[in-house]
Structure 1
């Protein structure tokens, strides 16, 4: 055995089913080569125009290549079909094994393409709410804010969300604007409480706390509305009335505030209103019965 073939194993043998295919492939290639030589010779001898001769040679060569490809597919069709089925089976197994990772990558592409949020935004996904501090291809990291949806204090806990959540769950972005936000909070009362006075006190306190920056916030919101093609919302503080259940009155306060100061201004307004006022229902004084003198 030549030294160049010394690395081959001594018992190397081909499967019996492959040998006829190799013979057929060899005969096909030899037949195509022979046919090419014959056709090229005929063209060169019988075609006088060089331009036409070149075109015929190129077309005949391409036709023979196409014939060879079809012949190889016909010869090796069964083996190619088995190979394709094997590849499909491997691909399906790979997709099933890495489904969560694929969903995470898809979620990352989705939130990036949609511009759902960026670093520093406060978002909520399902029951998870917090400030975005990091994003990777597979995960998004939040600093938790809570407890509940009405609180704006960080709990000190970190939440790592798989990006697969963004494929099937809606995202609430509480940081619509960069410098100014609308803050909404609700104060519940009983129906018999003096809620009209509470409404007036809350509105006065909100106007007093927003007075220093109300014009600046109004100009900024007008600029944002023009840039995004939206109707400019009213920036003035307002208090609306809701009756979610029989015997209850809820006063909903909405006011503009600087980004990051929502909790501060809410606490300032509530402290001012409830330290200086009592809106509880006044108990009716018992009627004194008059004693008749005998």
Structure 2
């Protein structure tokens, strides 16, 4: 007694249905085996993590597509009737699976249009992070920011439906010329030698950021072929502004998106060390004077305080 006779005897399933079930299981097993074999070959030949990820996803999508096609040919008497079959169920699927279909369309948009790729740092809605996975129905971010300062990782991952790319703006830190502008504001007192302070800040900033200018210029040239991006200058600059409690010196410079905090850390430490060497430079901060009796208040008014 073969398998088909045993199934028919115990389950009462028609022979034709039994054959289709058996052929479907065999097809799934063969395709799964071929997929695993192909992945082993790919992982053995390719060492780059990003390339491995792309190949793994490509093999997964192709295997799913082939599985659907093979099983469809098994269960539909004639392959040309497949279009008719899809036409009959398309309306019901569109109503019942509206969100998954939109997410699948979003996945196709991401794959073809490439608003972002795996490894890019992006922000969408209130979520920001590094793209670590893109699948047919959702993409995954390694979250940054939130309660953590300066765009560092929170340790959480965020799954975002692919359909959001049609309704929400996406901010990409890496497209363009792969650098971002960062600013650090240093406020010194009015009594300080603010010009000397500005010279010190300029030297510190150039020391830590000037090496990025040349590479940024090359990347900007490449980006201008795709986007209308234009900057008159990419060199670091310091802007001067008077605030209520002192002179604000704002350093503006280029940095890599994932090194914003480390760059700030290095610059601030050197600023603190350099300012300590000069008695005529002091940090400014808002202050408030409180008078405990009328005599002190009148005396301060007379003195012009």
With normalisation by structure 2, the TM-score equals 0.52
Residue 162 of structure 1 corresponds to 161
Q: Structure 2 unaligned runs (5+)?
A: 1-85, 276-281, 288-298, 300-305
Which digits, 9 at most, give the CA deviation of each residue in 1:195-233, with x for residues without a partner? Answer: 956655443321121234533433443344356564355
Aligned length: 200
What SS does the aligned partner of 1:164 have?
helix
Q: Map of 1:187-206 to 2, 5 A cutoff?
A: 187=185, 196=194, 201-206=200-205
Residue 258 of structure 2 corresponds to 260
Residues 282 and 182 (structure 1), Cα distance of their counterparts in 2 relative to 1, 3 Å cut: closer
Moved over 6 A (4+): 87-90, 190-195, 245-250
Q: Map of 1:27-176 to 2, 5 A cutoff?
A: 93-147=92-146, 151-176=150-175
Residue 225 of structure 1 corresponds to 224
Which protein is bigger by CA-based radius of gyration?
A: 1
Contact 2:148 2:154 in 1 (8 A): no
Q: Within 1, Cα distance between the matches of 2:137 and 2:191?
A: 52
Comparing both structures, which one devotes a greater share of its residues to helix? Answer: 2
What SS does the aligned partner of 2:171 have?
strand
What SS does the aligned partner of 2:284 have?
coil
Residue 76 of structure 1 corresponds to none
1:273 to 271, 274, 278: 271
Using the TM superposition, give the Cα deviation of residue 265 of structure 1 relative to its aligned residue in structure 2, in angstroms. 1.1
Contact 1:194 1:281 in 2 (8 A): no
Residues 195 and 230 (structure 1), Cα distance of their counterparts in 2 relative to 1, 3 Å cut: farther
Which digits, 9 at most, give the CA deviation of each residue in 1:229-276, with x for residues without a partner? Answer: 643552101234679x98798765432234632221122112222344
Which digits, 9 at most, give the CA deviation of each residue in 1:5-60, with x for residues without a partner? Answer: xxxxxxxxxxxxxxxxxxxxxxxxxxxxxxxxxxxxxxxxxxxxxxxxxxxxxxxx
Residue 183 of structure 2 corresponds to 185
With normalisation by structure 1, the TM-score equals 0.53
Q: Within 2, Cα distance between the matches of 1:171 and 1:195?
A: 44
